[in-house]
Chains A and B, each alone.
Chain A
Amino acid sequence: MTSEIRICNFFRLATTAGRVHRFQNYFIGENKTFNGEVYSFSPFQADGALASLNGDNQQLRVLFPSQEVSIRLVEEGDGNRLSVLALTTLWTNATGALNGAQYTDYFVGVGATFNEDTMELRFRSSMDSVGAGFPARVLTVDNVGILPLEASLNLQ
């Protein structure tokens, strides 16, 4: 038994400079209209976590070849800091139809890294969980009764 899957990523990045970049990575050398906007081809790949049980911010990495459009994207976008990425993963079919299942995740840019042949854009999930810095509830006489004189508490 064999299953066949064809997955396309639609990358929509709005930089802090107000520019919007749109790329897709499946239809080679083609422009694809998705949600009323045209996405040009770029051979990028995206990997990273989307969610975790403890709700921490997750990192997403998008790798582009160091070609002119991707370098311009970073240079003119304040190094990918605080840019907004909408990454849609869409299942297509042999005819290239764009009406399959699709999921969109949103990320915030946290920087970019260059090397001689690739350019890495780093993102984190746009929502963070409540961390340890959140003020804990304080034990008072009103909510637990008579307070002990030492730090140890025995729950009954």
Chain B
Amino acid sequence: MSQTFPTLKPSQRQFTLGAFPTKVYRSLAGTTVKRSYGNKPSGFGLTLEFTNVGDAIVSQIISHYNVTNGGFSRFALPSSILAGMSAALIAQVRAPYNIRWEYASAPSVQSVYNGISTVSVELLGELDV
């Protein structure tokens, strides 16, 4: 079990729903047959931005990235990441279908001023079976 993401509140947040595993076969006549390969969606996306935060917060995110071996180990999200949403919506976004999160790419840190940076984090939510 990997460490939970640091308890932080992002400045910006974008959530993308996962997709159900489906393949579409289209005939020459234009008719389509859709085949479902599973009953749960996967590949959820969550993009976070922490704007103008201090070095301590940047350090927390970098440490978490290293502890989870980059994009290898999966982890849970604290509810603070989804602050501002209703409890019902948080349940739908935080761990739908018991997904767990991993880094889709390495976080990027943009220096703004002495001791102040903006951090962008891209997370990927996948089914954990």
Contacts and interface: CB of A to CB of B under 8 A. Distances in A.
Contacts of B129: 28-29, 41, 43
Given A41-B129, A43-B129, A26 B31 contact: no
A99 interface: no
Contact of B40 (A4, A5, A28): A28
A27 B36 contact: no
Interface string A41-59: 1010000000000000000
Chain B interface bracket (under 10, 10 to 19, 20 to 34, 35 or more):
10 to 19
B33 A2 contact: yes
Contacts of A29: 40, 97-98, 127-129
A6 B21 CA distance: 11
Nearest to A28: B40
A39 B105 CA distance: 35
Nearest to B35: A5
A123 B111 CA distance: 58
A83 to B, nearest CB: 24
A115 interface: no
Nearest to B27: A1
Nearest to B30: A1
A2 B36 contact: no
A7 B38 CA distance: 9
Given A29-B98, A29-B129, A43-B129, A7 B39 contact: no
Contacts of A96: 39
Interface in A19-44: 25-29, 41, 43
A3 B27 CA distance: 12
Nearest to A41: B129
Contact of B34 (A4, A27, A41, A43): A4
A5 B31 contact: no
Given A28-B127, A29-B98, A41-B129, A6 B31 contact: no
Nearest to A4: B34
B33 A5 contact: yes
B59 interface: no
A27 B39 CA distance: 6
A26 B38 contact: yes
Given A3-B32, A7-B36, A96-B39, 4 more contacts: A1-B31, A1-B32, A25-B38, A27-B38
11 contacts: A2-B32, A3-B31, A4-B34, A5-B36, A6-B36, A6-B39, A7-B35, A25-B38, A27-B39, A29-B98, A41-B129
Interface of B: 31-40, 97-98, 127-129
In the complex, the 8 A-B pairs of residues with the closest C-beta atoms, listed nearest first: A28-B40, A6-B36, A3-B33, A29-B129, A1-B31, A2-B32, A5-B35, A28-B38
